[in-house]
Structure 1
């Protein structure tokens, strides 16, 4: 969930698109345009030029990151969501962007293993509006290990997004893979922050830890929060887990086999949506063959 009102588990594509468009309290900004939105087969791709990547990094200053946090308040945190106080997890970070309405907002993402050492996984609604091929987002920047304004591992501009064509056309399969550019100082993302493993086709029923940067009070996106519990199968190709992470946690990983000592686990889903009142459970997509096609397209790019 980027910072917007929650929706219920059962929905149509049109109602979902409306819900995701209704961002709560975001700041107006001037949205740029992606170079190209193309796709073949199951995967749709948006590519950002080097100039657009540089503009995104210039746009998301520390002051602007703080400003967007102060602009959104989705009510009190919890009771299931807890601040993460264990070892830092640099592979999880905050994903800032400008949406199709020209508003500043954010989601959550995680760096995963990949051939190019440069892939993050997140939710498709953090990359583009569903059921609306022209409405892609701009100025997308991933900040691994973000904590209370600190950017200890730098900022990574997104150079390409990969989403299911089913999301673009029907608002189905809320999963995205993004490829980040290597910064001027030359360290690829996962060489700098490490990577979570990722698995496809895992059935519901295992214990997962879900992470995110929700816009709930008092953290307001400035601190990593988590929930933990056993996942269950849900309708429409989804899974659910007991969790009340608020808007802004969208795209945060569900880590199976999470080890708090190492900060590592295996991504088996991502936060997609909760109930309209912000209560438990949290829903996430099953990482099926479509999700694997999205990931495969990104890891080779």
Structure 2
């Protein structure tokens, strides 16, 4: 999660996060400590060593012609990329614009150890993270303790999974949801997550090696048991690489690594393809389910209950188990000029960002209506964007790009 922290927070391994003064938010009637719930990162050096080995061992790099052309346009050498050049995050080489997304498959990069070791990243605090011009905000919800979803996760939450990716800070992780593709009914390869799980926002570009693992740790093994687990046990339905991703223009231009900047537009859609050639089945066919997305969800006062799902990774959680929270939503407005967000009571922490929020849609059936974006450092509540025209535009664009495929 992206955060504004009123005091220093100890990290695992004795590290500490940098802090900022408490910021007054008039409409919230208190100082908010916002954190982008989601992303956890591992040690940069360790992940680099692992990935370089994975890329070099099999010498395979699946690169479609259109990606080759885009890499060439930006002066990126394919052989160097395969052998670790993707770890160069210099400003000139970090692709930023919406049309510049490239994500070549490096087979074997996401092994069980690399997935398991993704942890919370160090994040800075910016006093501009909360605007002083607040809109309508309801009282802070009472905390709701997240409930563990019983394994198998595929049986009880088949559309849920994890998104893994590399950033300048190291190996990172978010949560995500398999969603329907209107251009390919019953055969969707589309995944919904948060914008900050694919793009760094106003001060950065697209993250790299983005991959989705549905039903991660499906059997609900403990962290200790996962140390000796096979890849098939960790990722029983495969690793699916993002061959295209799209987020809102507002997130790219406004999004910040901490706090509420761009949070009302913090959503993204990833189109995926299997890491290894499989049986020709789509992601939806493989997991057996995909959620519809409702862009006409009722206003907050008319929504009786929302369920948020994710893999929280910051203490007291460890990122290896799937949880959910159910609560009646309230309104959270960070800026009078931006759409009001949903907010629910929930104890889930970093690692759950991007996870789907499910409610009864406008047709009376369960549908995805939001995703986890921000929450307080101390946990207790989560907030997600209300999906409107901008979100539908992103969704339709990704669907249309792969129509008929």
TM over 0.5, shorter chain: yes
Q: Deviation of residue 244 (structure 1)? A: 2.1
- Hey, what's the Cα distance between the residues in 2 that align with 1:256 and 1:95? 22
Shift of 1:89: 1.7
Show the counterpart of 1:210: 308
CA distance in 2, matches of 1:9, 1:297: 39
Preserved CA contact (<8 Å) 1:118 1:299: no
Task: Give 1:83's aligned residue.
Answer: 148
Partners of 1:249 and 1:6 lie apart in 2 by 17
CA contact (8 A) 2:40 2:172 kept: no
Structure 1 window deviating more from structure 2 (223-232 vs 233-242): it is: 233-242
Cα distance between partner residues in 2 of 1:47 and 1:27: 25
Partners of 1:121 and 1:23 in 2: how far apart? 15
Kindly indicate whether the alpha-carbon contact (under 8 Å) linking 1:96 and 1:142 is maintained by their aligned counterparts in 2. yes
2:163 — aligned with what? Answer: 95
In the other structure, the counterpart of 1:68 is 118
Paired with 1:124 and 1:283, the residues of 2 have a C-alpha distance of 14
**In structure 2, what is the equivalent of residue 144 of structure 1?**
214
Distance in 2 between residues matched to 1:175 and 1:189, nearest whole Å: 20
| Cα distance in 2, alignment partners of residues 45 and 187 from structure 1 | 27
1:187 equivalent in alignment to 2:252:
no
Q: Output aligned runs, 1:46-57, within 5 Å.
A: 46-49=100-103, 52-53=104-105, 55=106, 57=107
Aligned to 1:159: 243
Report deviation, 1:227. Answer: 0.3
- Cα RMSD of the aligned pairs, angstroms, is 3.1
User: Structure 1-normalised TM-score?
Assistant: 0.79
Partners of 1:230 and 1:274 in 2: CA distance: 16
Alignment-derived partner of residue 177 in structure 1: 269
Match of 2:371 among 263, 270, 274: 270
More helix by share: 2
- The counterpart of 1:201, out of the listed 296, 316, 322, is 296
Q: 1:32 to 1:300 in 2, by over 3 A?
A: farther
Structure 2 unaligned regions, length at least 5: 6-22, 26-33, 49-85, 122-142, 227-233, 256-261
Give the structure 2 partner of residue 13 of structure 1: none
Task: Tell me the residue number matched to 1:294.
Answer: 394
Q: How many angstroms apart in 2 are the aligned matches of 1:5 and 1:271?
A: 13
* Residue 110 (str. 1) matches residue 211 (str. 2): no
| Compared CA separation, residues 297 and 36, structure 1 to 2 (3 A) | farther
Q: Which residue of 2 aligns with 1:15?
A: none
Aligned partners of 1:23, 1:143: CA distance in 2, in Å? Answer: 15
Q: Give, in whole Å, the separation in 2 of the partners of 1:239 and 1:46.
A: 31
With normalisation by structure 2, the TM-score equals 0.60
Deviations 1:78-108 (A, max 9, x none): 8611111274322110111112x14111000
1:7-42 deviation digits (Å, cap 9, x = unpaired): 6996xxxxxxx976x97663104454799654xxxx
Give the count of matched residue pairs: 270
Correspondent of 1:27 among 31, 36, 43:
43
Q: Measured at CA, do residues 9 and 88 of structure 1 come closer, stay the same or move farther in structure 2, by a change above 3 Å?
A: farther
Aligned-pair distance for 1:218? 5.5
Instruction: Give the match for residue 16 of structure 2.
Output: none
Whether the 8 Å CA contact 2:176–2:191 is kept in 1: the answer is yes
Secondary structure (helix, strand or coil) at the match of 1:293 reads helix
Query: Relative to total residues, which structure has the larger strand share, 1 or 2?
Result: 1
Distance 1:113 1:189 in 2: 10
Is the CA contact 2:293–2:369 (under 8 Å) kept in the aligned structure 1? yes
